[in-house]
Amino acid sequence: MSKVQLFSRTIDELSGLIREKEVSPVEVTKATLERSKNLNEQVNAYINITEDQSLAMAMEHEKEILNGNYRGKLHGIPMALKDIFYFEGEVATMGSKIHQDFIPDYDATVVSKLKEAGVIFTGKLNMHEYAWGATTTNPHYGPCRNPWNLEKIPGGSSGGSGAAVSADMTIASLGTDTGGSIRIPASSCGIIGLKPTHGRVSKYGCFPLAWSLDHIGPMTKTVTDAAILLEAIAGFDRNDPTTVDVPTAAYTKNLNEDIGGMVIGINEDYFFRNVDPEVESLVRAGIRKLEDRGASVVHVEIPSLKNAEFAELITIMTEASTVHHANLKERAQDFGEDVRLLLEAGEVPSAVDYLQAQQIRRKLDVEFAEAMKQVDVMITPTLPFTPIDIGADTLSLNEEIVNFLDHIIRFTLPGNLTGLPSLSIPCGLSNGLPVGMQIMGKAFKEEDVLRAAYAFEKTNPMNGMKPKLSESKLV
């Protein structure tokens, strides 16, 4: 089997081949590492490729599988994660200069779970510094580039994860999401990004951005792979007081269930206002495809969405500045300029602002819960526009110049404020750049979101298209 075939495969495909011993973990790992080394100069998705360590790990797992100890679908799968998760004894930079030599002495819960499942780690992926931004134009480790167009951002903050999955530099990845940081790069890079329900996945050993909004979730090539990864990482954890002891589902089991009778909620006032016309058209076409498969559409009202941006901005800014307060006092010059400014600005809002933001969140919780009683899922565009040029911080949206950061999180932030599960799935290309469709579900009902996404994926919305990259060292 050629290397090209191996690195471009999914978890689901590779797991069958590894289980049947048709492919070895060492072969897959070598192919993925070679692909990553050849492309990293262009894409800059990795901060660090841990070649020797991952090959040693692959050999151990290969031996174990040959001895008949196959652990399950993730056994022998090479994977790189965002450099925000703690690995015992390994540097975790969080994309920063301040933490460039930080070595945690324990594994994050998601890392332990993936280690137990037999994942082989190939390195640490680039990210927006401390996850506080959505471009992944990192001043310390260089800008990460969008594999669909290397002049464009991959989105962020999990931009390295989005770019690496899209460019086949990892089989799958994990990201973190505080205002959209899984779904924004997923949409921008044409992959699946799932932010599970708040409390579904432990954040123990993951550096915080804003603790009440932070989530961890899968970033993958397919919906099935997202379900496989969620099965592996979901669950209550005594080390994380925000996890909820709710039974997890067998997320891969019911993906193929008929969506006939599924009710989709649409909110026009907030989620379809001030959107790029081509993005809007692709998302509406996506909804029609689900209607063709038997789903129906109803319109839902969520009045407090008019205050959602205030609630998100106040909460994320002030919580992030609380996390970084000591370093802002002592080492302000060691932050990148954009993050320093956001952290300084986060010192300014008042306690009244913060508490009003939490009151708005309560209103949103109640209104979303009410709206969700009428529907199984809600569908929205993931982003109002396609990725911008690296280095830009404004853009023209419907003939108005707008601030990038304020607008990029408009449709993703309600998922963070309420904690409801939300997934981005590619629904086509606009000017050669991917467009994402967001599917939101009820609390702890990731299975509904995944089922709708799986049905949509079967319509082949990307028509098999992938980014065209040449491996300079191979040519």
- Can 470 be counted among the known catalytic residues? no
Is 313 near another protein (CB under 8 A)? yes
Q: Which residue among the candidates 82, 113, 195, 442 is catalytic per the annotation?
A: 82
Burial class (CB in 10 A: 0-12, 13-18, 19+), 102: middle
Q: Environment class of residue 472 by beta-carbon count within 10 Å: exposed (0-12), middle (13-18) or buried (19+)? A: exposed
Q: Of 179 and 436, which has the nearer Cβ to another protein?
A: 179
Nearest residue (CB) to another protein, 66 versus 366:
366
Examine residue 353 and tell whether it contacts another protein (CB under 8 A): yes
Rounded to an integer, what distance in angstroms lies between the CA atom of residue 133 and that of residue 127?
9
Question: CA 71 to CA 251: how far, in whole Å?
Answer: 18
Asked if 417 touches another protein (CB under 8 A), the answer is yes
Task: Check: CB of residue 391 under 8 Å from CB of residue 151.
Answer: no
- How far, in Å, CA of 315 to CA of 53, rounded? 39
Amino acid identity of residue 447, one-letter, is E
What phi, psi does 265 have (nearest 5°)? -95, 140
Q: How many residues does the chain have?
A: 475
Sign, Cα dihedral of 129, 133, 136, 138: negative
The catalytic position among 36, 157, 173, 304 is 157
**Dihedral sign for Cα atoms in the order 77, 82, 83, 84:** negative
Sequence-distant (6+) residues with CB within 8 A of 438 are 183, 187, 379, 380, 381, 382, 411, 412, 415, 422, 423, 424
Catalytic-residue membership of 30: no
Q: Taking CB under 8 A as the rule, which mask of x and - marks residues 431-470 in contact with another protein?
A: -----------xxxx-------------------------
Between 41 and 245, whose beta carbon lies closer to another protein? 245
- Cβ atoms < 10 Å from Cβ of 373: 9
Window of 24-32, 174-182, 266-274, 306-314 that interacts with another protein by CB under 8 A: 306-314
Site for another protein in 199-238 (CB under 8 A): 199, 212
Q: With CB under 8 A as the rule, give the number of residues binding another protein.
A: 44
Using CB under 8 A as the binding rule, whether residue 314 contacts another protein is answered as yes
Residue 137 neighbours by CB under 8 Å, 6+ apart: 128, 143, 144, 153, 390, 391
What tokens does 82 get? 């965002």
Contacting another protein within 105-144 (CB under 8 A): none
Q: What's the Rg (C-alpha) of the chain?
A: 21
The reply on whether position 328 binds another protein by CB under 8 A is: yes
Q: Is 399 in the site for another protein (CB under 8 A)?
A: no
Catalytic-role residue among 15, 112, 181, 202: 181
Is residue 347 at the binding interface for another protein, with CB under 8 A as the rule?
yes
User: Which residues from 27-86 bind another protein, rule CB under 8 A?
Assistant: none
**CA distances to 99, 207, 221 from 84, in Å:** 10, 6, 21
- Give yes or no: 161 in active site: no
| Contact stretch for another protein (CB under 8 A) within 2-10, 25-33, 277-285, 365-373 | 365-373
Among 4, 66, 103, 332, binds another protein (CB under 8 A): 332
Residue of 69, 239, 359, 394 interacting with another protein (CB under 8 A): 359
Q: How far is the CB of 449 from another protein (least distance, A)?
A: 12
331 counts as binding another protein under rule CB under 8 A: no
344 binds another protein (CB under 8 A): yes
Helices assigned H by DSSP within 241-307: 268-271, 277-292
Structure tokens at 206: 């993951």
* 169 or 417: CB nearest another protein: 417
Residue 475 CB partners (closer than 8 Å, separation 6+): none
CB of residue 246 to another protein, shortest distance in Å: 5
Nearest CB to another protein, comparing residues 88 and 365: 365
Of 250 and 355, the one with the shorter C-beta distance to another protein is: 355
Interacting positions 240-279 with another protein (CB under 8 A): 242, 244-246
Cβ distance to another protein smaller for residue 98 or 345: 345
In the complex, the residues that contact another protein under the rule CB under 8 A are 197-199, 212, 242, 244-246, 306-307, 309-310, 313-314, 328-329, 332, 340-341, 344-345, 347-349, 353, 355-356, 358-363, 365-366, 369, 403, 406, 417, 419, 442-445
Residues tagged active-site: 82, 157, 181
